[in-house]
Copies of this chain bind each other. A is one copy, B any other.
């Protein structure tokens, strides 16, 4: 399978460049009969789109999505759903000089080595802009999962640069452009970002994404485990350098008697597993954490080389997110939703006939 397609049964084929005519995707394999219109996709696109605050790129894109196929009389027909988003604010002039050099930490160099050519306009294919179609496709997945199982996929910011962000409630997350779960920390975040922007530097972030209402049984024992699929999906997002499920790296120092989540008739007594046991969902919430690296396009001058490998100094002007992590929450939610719908379809393909005398254990402690 070629690299720009995600998923096995609910399959998303992404296309586009930052400054080409359009970006979008083809979603194949969606179950038929789902009520769907552009209005279902726009809210998540709006949550991701640039220009929501001064702390993100000031590129002006409405990110209006057009559904080109797969819908009849307001419902999915089971045939491919093509989604199109026109690029509106492409300024190629900002980037022309970059074609001769490689930004440290950027895909510039590796694209050039791989393909012998790269589209330097706005980062071309490596732009975070290409996550918009993921978000649109993810919104379809979220809707179907919600209707089918009551699944809810939500994320929030856990750390911005060095600042840890406490989580108080999902309501708070929706009330600020940082996807921060606490109102109190907002002034500190804003101050940090303002300083960063003044300095012409960038920072990384850590996000947490949680899916509740996930049915037990999704995933496979080996290789194509649910957690492996999630790790793949998350690390497939630009700038992600680390993924944890449940206790994650903390699990290394835990004892077995501490880590293994006890089962009771009322459900699991803890969720160190993050909702996945042996590669298969347990019915507990799926708990994922991801780390995003700082943006590589910064104003501060840095050493690099040019196409002839001669030393140069690179300083990147133009419009860039000083922290891509700020806008990444809807992206991570979307990717998790895409994994879950795919695994839900795969699971029922093989196991639709499995019957149980008992309903699943309740999720228990989150």
- Among A29-37, A51-59, A169-177, the stretch that binds chain B is A29-37
Binds B, one of A39-47, A117-125, A179-187: A117-125
**Which of B231, B236, B259, B302 sits near A243, CB closer than 8 Å?**
B231
Shortest Cβ distance from A312 into B: residue? B263
Bound together, the chains give a CA A258 to CA B124 distance in angstroms of 24
Cβ contact of A242, chosen from B33, B222, B248, B346, cutoff 8 A: B248
How many residues in A have their beta carbons less than 8 Å from beta carbons of B? 167
- B228:A232 contact, CB within 8 angstroms: yes
- For A346, the chain B residues whose CB sits under 8 A away are 3, 9, 349
Q: Does A154 sit at the interface, judged by CB under 8 A? A: no
On whether the beta carbons of B104 and A261 are closer than 8 Å, the reply is yes
Instruction: Determine whether the beta carbon of A161 is less than 8 Å from that of B252.
Output: yes
A28–B9 CB distance below 8 A: no
CB <8 Å contact, A159 and B253:
yes
In the complex, the answer to whether A295 meets B15 with C-beta atoms within 8 Å is no
Query: Quick one: given A2-B9, A113-B356, A243-B242, are A254 and B293 in contact (CB under 8 Å)?
Result: yes
| Mask of A267-290 contacts with B, CB within 8 angstroms, 1/0 | 001001110111111110000000
Residue A24 is within 8 A (CB to CB) of chain B in the complex: yes
What's the Cα separation between A116 and B104 when bound, in Å? 43
A340 to chain B, nearest CB (A): 14
Would you give the 0/1 interface string for A218-233, flagging 1 where the beta carbon is closer than 8 Å to chain B? 1111111101111111
Which B residues lie within 8 Å of A309 (CB)?
Answer: 265, 358, 361
Whether B325 and A260, one on each chain, are in contact in the complex, defined by CB atoms closer than 8 angstroms, is no
Residues in B with CB closer than 8 Å to A230 are 235
Shortest distance between the CB of A304 and any CB in chain B (Å): 5
When the two chains form their complex, are residues A217 and B82 in contact, meaning their CB atoms are under 8 A apart? no
What is the CB-to-nearest-CB distance from A312 to chain B, in angstroms, rounded to a whole number? 9
Question: Nearest residue in B to A67 (C-beta to C-beta)?
Answer: B21
Find A260's partner among B11, B217, B219, B298 (CB 8 Å cutoff).
Answer: B298
24 sampled A-B residue pairs with Cβ under 8 A: A3-B225, A9-B346, A13-B13, A20-B68, A22-B82, A32-B117, A32-B350, A32-B351, A72-B119, A78-B351, A79-B125, A113-B356, A114-B217, A126-B221, A161-B252, A205-B252, A228-B234, A255-B294, A257-B298, A257-B300, A264-B305, A309-B358, A345-B349, A345-B350
